[in-house]
Every structure is written in structure tokens, then in C-alpha cells.
């Protein structure tokens, strides 16, 4: 017994020494049964250059150990056969033919549970929230020793407020009551930055959930609990840049891990040079290689080590947690060839995964350029299924706030939708009214409740995958500049809040009116094949009224949407729509429940959108 204890202590001591020698081995572990047998380990430790490695585990082959510029790094290529079994195995690190230490690495089985990685489709309603600003479910992690930011100040938009993953988990019933089917949080990974670390877009460790939000295990539990409650999960990821606090940036493996310039150079933020056949190469380089801001170094996605690191990290999170979709931040700023390769590899592993690229561009053609199937002028297919449809968002506001002209007001909405032929499938686009980087919807329509309802009606009946920004359902307002109040806390998410908007009792009558409108239409949408996947048929606007239908292929289920954006009531003559209404005996107002007989005219109040189910 004494001998066994001694052996155990020796092994424990050796493994502890190895862990102290190697402060990072990424990915943290890997999985059996992956379509791609290749795996590249990034190994970081003090002065390990010159080390070689050996392993002996059935189904795992050590292919090559790469020495790089920085003596603190090794990159180890492994090949994992289909026959490899889950388990732990030692990787022996050698110097001059002598073993220095072993590092225990692990393969886990893939999880084939049917509730995992379901994909997000136009049958869903996405709810976007910022975890730091939504609800504080665990005050014990509000401040974490050792991190750069120690300020907790809910009176400032630039410091942390204490919201976390547990806070979101505590309100899953709220989302279901609202009619939401999918949750999207801004990035949850570690952002150990001295200022404004709450937003999540300056990652400092790709493999760790920020401890102020929780742990990796809690994130996995969050996904599993959401799935158990019939909710899907989108993860927000960033390819383009990292934070200056990233442990890799503090000790770069090689100089060109990030894009280097003789003097600091910021991106032009102009997407046009990426697609412009006449673009100067310098302009294209500035867009793609310029840093997003001084605190966010631009990753060099032409570097094969960077490519492997990012791609493996995203595969790891999907398989580890079982998430259903990805939102890709700053998509146009990334290296196109790499992004196409990235998407191909992820689709191979996860055929049902949904992917949306953020494309805040200025034309439908520009948005479509980044989507799959469009190979014009560049000879590659991005393999990107859909984008966040900024152009459609802009036309929602034009339809609600603008004056009708040949290309203005409701005509602009009609025109933008008429260009859907540019996409392989516009139904894969995420559509929205606002988000965390924009002025809030309710403020942009000048807090007009009729326009609010019209905007929500358009969002929840239009083609594409609708996305709602947190608080829109309770009329949260404010503009993006200069104070960042669009990222205010959700009232009731913190102990001690004067009122809770999570309950009807805590909401004002008008807030309840808004909440109930969203909930009513969202729940109807969950039961409506026409709104979930029906074909969009739109009519040229006439007399200040815009009409479209959503109809199933068989034509057995149809919804008619009528938008009167003008400030006076209108009478709509229905003879023009006989092609969609020929078998209709009556119409049901989805919100009020009122039954309308199908006669020759429909009364449409001023600044109102009617959502009518055809019977």
C-alpha cells in the first residue's frame, strides 16, 4: 500500500510539473469520430523550442512537431483515425532524446443526442441579448481577482454591470412566454481587458468562458437547459480580431500571427474594395488587414497556424456545448479564401449548423456577394448560408418613416425584396429592426406605438429568420450615440431593482400592450406554416398601401399582410389579389381575432399593418 502511494505521488508530481511547464495546450481536448482526422495542438510553455514529442495510443498518429519563431511555442500535428477510442493518453516531450515530462491529453466521444446542433431556420425567432446587461443570476462572480477590470458600475455604460449566464438561465420561461425559440448572446468568452470588457468582442482566451459570466461547464449546462425547454442557442464568434489582452498577443508565436504595419493602421471600414473589380490593392489591404480599433489586433488569416487555431476552436465549442448556430462578427473584414475553407470544414462536421455573417453594408448586391453560390469575379464560393440583412432593416424604417415616392417609403421595401434573386436563398438571412450597435427601434420611430406594431408585424411575417433585440418587447429606447444607452440593463434583472419588466405586474399598460402584441404574433407564427416557410408574394404598392402574402406550396395556408404607412385611413379593394384569395371564404385578424368576410374591400386604419389569416 505504501509503495502504491509513493508511485501515485510520483505520477502526480510529474503531471503537475508538466502542467506548470506548459501553461496552454489548445484545444483543451478533442473528439473521436470527426470527419477531418487532422488536429493541430498549439502548445505554449517557457522555452520549449527544440523539444520533440512522442505518443503511443491506438488510432492516434503524431505526424509532425513544428518549431516556430517564438521559443515558447510548439505546434503538434496529429492524425486521429476513425478507429480511435475515447480516453486519455500521454504525450511525451523529449529533449536531446531524453524524456523531460509527459502531458496527459484526452479524446472524448462525440455526442449524437438529437437535441444538439439542430440549426436555426425561418421557423425560429431569435432573441439577442448582452449577458452583462440582461440579468445577474450569480453576484459572487461580479468581480474576479486577477482580471484587468475590477470596476462594477451600473451607472456607467462602459463598465461591467454584473449580468451573467445564470441570469439568462433563470429567465427561460420569460423567453417562452414571449414566443422566442432561439437565444443569441454577444460573445461569452473571456475578455480580460482593462476597459469596456463587457461586450465580448475583444477575446483574450478562445477556450474559456469569461469567469464573470460563469464557466465552460455552466455554458454547456445553459445550452442543455435551453434545449430541454425547447429553445435553441446561437453563439457569437469573432474571426477578424482579438483583444490586446489575449495571452497569445502578449507572446506572439510568430510576428505575422497578426497583421503588422510600419505604423498603426486602422481598417477603412469600407467593404467595397473587397468586391470592387477596379479596387486599388492598397485599399483592399487596408480594409482586410487594418486593425478594427487599437485594442483589437487584426488576425492574419492567411497564416495556416491562425487558420487551424480558429477553425478548431469553433468546432470545439460546437461539439462541446451542442449549440445550434453561429453568428459571425464583422464578416466582410475577413480573408475570403479562409472563410470559405472554414465554412466548408464546419459544414462537413455539422450539416445542420446554421451560420449568419454580419454584413453591415450599403446595398443588396454587397450583401449577396458574401453569401454562398455567388462566385462572380473571384472564383470561390463563400459557403456562407445567410447574412444579417441590414438592407432590409433599413427599408423597414423607410417604409414606416418615409414618404412614398417612386423609390421611397414603402416602394423601397418592395424594391429591396424584389432583388432577392441575388441570393441563393434569402430565407436564410437573419432579419432585424436593431441590435446592440444601433439606435433602438422604438426611438427611431419616434416612440409611435402604431409604427411599433407595424414594424413588429413586418419583422414576424417577412421572409427570413427574425431577430429581436432584448427590451424591444417592452419599448426600451435610446440612441446609439453618444452614451451607449442602447445597452441599458433589462429592468428587473438585478436584486434590488425597483420594478421587474419580466412580469406583467411590473410593466406599464403600454409596455404590456407592446409585449402582448409581440407574444401574440410570435406564438401565431410558431403555428403558421405560411409564416414559417411559405412563399412570399408581394404586390407593387398602390395608393399608399403595400400588400404581400405568405403562402405554402400547396396554397392551403396563407397569410395576407397589409401595410398602410400613411396618416389617414384607407380602403383596399381586393379584386387585384384574386390569385391568392380565390378560395378564401373569410379573413381572421391574427391580433384581434375579428372575422372579416371576403368582400371587395378591406378597411385599413392609418399607420397600421393588418395581419390576416385566410380561411
Give the 3-state DSSP-derived string for 76-96, with helices as H, strands as E and coil as C: EEEEECCCCCCEEEEEEEEEC
- Quickly count: other Cβ atoms within 10 Å of residue 447's Cβ: 12
Q: How far apart are CA 333 and CA 358, in angstroms?
A: 10
329 in active site: yes
Q: How far apart are CA 499 and CA 504, in angstroms?
A: 11
Q: Which secondary structure element, helix H or strand E, spans residue 394, and what is its range? A: helix 390-401
* Active-site annotation holder among 236, 358, 434, 489: 358
What is the grid cell recorded at 466? Answer: 427574425
Which ranges of 509-564 would DSSP assign to H, the alpha helix? 509-527, 529-533
Q: DSSP class of residue 392?
A: H
358 in active site: yes
Residue 432 near residue 389, CB atoms below 8 Å = yes
Q: Give strand ranges (E) for 311-462.
A: 325-329, 354-359, 386-389, 430-432
Q: What DSSP letter does each residue of 245-268 carry, written as one string?
A: T-TTGGG-SSGGGB---SS--B--
**Residue 580: C-alpha distances to residues 355, 442, 546, 574 (Å):** 33, 33, 15, 10
Work out whether strand 465-469 and strand 430-432 pair parallel, antiparallel, or are unpaired: parallel
| Location of C-alpha cell 381586393 | 574
> Which of 77, 49, 76, 73 has the alpha carbon at shortest distance from 253?
73
User: What residues have CB less than 8 Å from 322, skipping those under 6 apart?
Assistant: 111, 113, 115, 116, 117, 220, 223, 224, 227
Q: How wide is the angle at C-alpha 124 spanned by C-alphas 331 and 400, nearest 5°?
A: 75
Q: How far apart are CA 301 and CA 339, in angstroms?
A: 9
Residue 499 near residue 491, CB atoms below 8 Å = yes
What is the grid cell recorded at 399? Answer: 417604409
> Which of 225, 237, 391 has the alpha carbon at shortest distance from 325?
237
Q: How does 216-227 read in b/e, with b if 16+ C-beta sit within 10 Å?
A: bebbbbbbbebb
Work out whether strand 126-129 and strand 465-469 pair parallel, antiparallel, or are unpaired: parallel
* Active-site annotation holder among 271, 329, 335, 566: 329
Which ranges of 276-389 would DSSP assign to H, the alpha helix? 281-289, 304-321, 336-349, 364-369
Provide the annotated active-site residues. 329, 358
Amino acid at each position: 500500500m505504501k509503495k502504491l502511494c509513493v508511485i501515485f505521488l510520483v505520477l502526480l508530481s510529474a503531471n503537475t510539473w508538466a502542467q506548470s511547464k506548459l501553461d496552454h495546450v489548445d484545444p483543451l481536448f478533442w473528439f473521436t469520430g470527426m470527419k477531418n482526422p487532422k488536429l493541430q495542438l498549439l502548445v505554449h510553455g517557457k522555452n520549449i523550442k527544440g523539444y520533440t514529442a512522442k505518443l503511443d495510443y491506438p488510432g492516434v498518429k503524431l505526424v509532425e512537431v513544428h518549431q516556430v519563431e517564438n521559443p515558447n511555442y510548439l505546434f503538434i500535428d496529429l492524425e486521429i483515425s476513425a478507429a480511435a477510442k475515447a480516453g486519455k493518453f500521454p504525450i511525451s516531450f523529449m529533449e536531446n532524446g531524453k524524456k523531460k515530462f509527459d502531458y496527459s491529453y484526452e479524446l472524448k466521444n462525440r455526442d449524437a443526442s438529437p437535441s444538439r446542433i439542430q440549426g436555426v431556420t425561418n421557423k425560429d425567432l431569435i432573441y439577442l441579448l448582452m449577458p452583462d446587461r440582461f440579468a445577474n443570476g450569480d453576484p459572487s462572480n461580479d468581480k474576479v481577482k486577477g482580471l484587468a477590470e475590477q470596476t462594477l458600475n451600473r451607472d456607467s455604460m462602459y463598465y461591467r454591470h454584473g449580468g451573467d449566464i445564470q441570469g439568462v438561465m433563470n429567465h427561460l420561461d420569460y423567453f417562452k412566454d414571449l414566443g422566442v425559440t432561439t437565444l443569441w448572446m454577444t460573445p461569452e468568452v473571456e475578455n480580460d481587458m482593462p476597459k469596456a470588457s463587457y461586450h465580448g468582442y475583444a477575446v483574450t482566451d478562445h477556450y474559456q468562458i469569461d469567469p464573470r459570466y460563469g464557466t465552460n461547464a455552466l455554458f454547456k449546462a445553459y445550452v442543455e437547459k435551453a434545449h430541454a425547454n425547447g429553445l435553441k442557442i446561437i453563439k457569437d464568434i469573432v474571426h477578424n480580431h482579438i483583444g490586446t489582452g489575449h495571452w497569445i498577443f502578449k507572446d506572439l508565436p510568430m510576428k505575422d500571427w497578426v497583421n503588422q504595419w510600419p505604423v498603426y493602421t486602422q481598417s477603412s471600414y469600407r467593404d467595397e474594395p473587397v468586391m470592387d473589380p477596379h479596387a486599388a490593392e492598397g485599399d483592399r489591404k487596408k480594409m482586410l488587414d487594418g486593425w478594427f480599433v487599437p485594442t483589437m489586433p487584426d488576425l492574419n488569416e492567411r497564416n495556416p497556424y491562425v487558420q487551424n487555431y480558429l477553425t478548431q476552436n469553433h468546432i470545439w465549442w460546437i461539439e462541446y456545448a451542442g449549440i445550434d448556430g453561429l453568428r459571425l462578427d464583422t464578416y466582410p473584414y475577413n480573408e475570403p479564401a479562409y472563410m470559405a475553407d472554414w465554412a466548408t470544414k464546419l459544414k462537413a462536421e455539422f450539416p445542420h449548423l446554421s451560420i449568419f455573417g454580419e454584413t453591415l453594408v450599403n446595398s443588396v448586391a454587397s450583401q449577396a456577394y458574401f453569401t454562398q453560390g455567388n462566385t462572380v469575379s473571384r472564383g470561390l464560393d463563400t459557403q456562407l448560408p445567410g447574412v444579417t440583412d441590414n438592407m432590409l432593416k433599413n427599408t423597414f424604417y423607410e417604409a414606416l418613416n418615409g414618404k412614398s415616392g417612386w423609390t421611397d417609403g414603402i416602394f423601397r421595401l418592395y424594391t429591396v425584396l424584389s432583388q432577392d434573386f441575388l441570393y441563393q436563398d434569402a430565407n436564410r438571412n437573419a432579419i432585424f429592426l436593431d441590435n446592440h450597435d444601433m439606435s433602438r427601434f422604438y426611438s427611431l420611430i419616434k416612440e409611435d406605438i402604431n409604427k411599433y406594431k407595424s414594424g413588429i408585424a413586418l419583422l414576424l411575417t417577412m421572409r427570413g429568420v427574425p431577430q429581436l433585440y432584448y427590451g424591444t418587447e417592452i419599448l426600451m429606447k435610446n440612441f446609439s450615440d453618444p452614451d451607449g444607452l442602447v445597452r441599458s440593463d433589462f429592468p428587473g434583472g438585478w436584486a434590488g431593482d425597483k420594478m421587474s419588466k419580466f412580469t406583467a405586474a411590473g410593466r406599464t399598460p403600454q409596455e404590456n400592450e407592446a409585449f402582448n402584441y409581440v407574444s401574440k404574433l410570435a406564438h401565431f407564427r410558431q403555428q403558421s406554416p405560411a409564416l414559417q416557410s411559405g412563399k412570399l408574394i408581394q404586390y407593387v404598392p398602390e395608393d399608399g398601401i403595400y400588400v404581400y402574402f405568405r403562402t405554402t406550396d400547396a396554397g392551403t395556408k396563407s397569410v395576407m399582410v397589409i401595410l398602410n404607412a400613411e396618416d389617414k385611413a384607407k380602403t383596399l379593394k381586393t379584386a387585384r389579389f384574386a390569385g391568392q384569395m380565390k378560395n378564401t371564404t373569410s379573413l381572421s385578424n391574427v391580433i384581434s381575432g375579428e372575422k372579416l368576410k371576403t368582400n371587395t374591400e378591406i378597411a385599413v386604419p392609418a399607420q397600421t399593418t393588418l395581419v390576416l389569416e385566410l380561411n
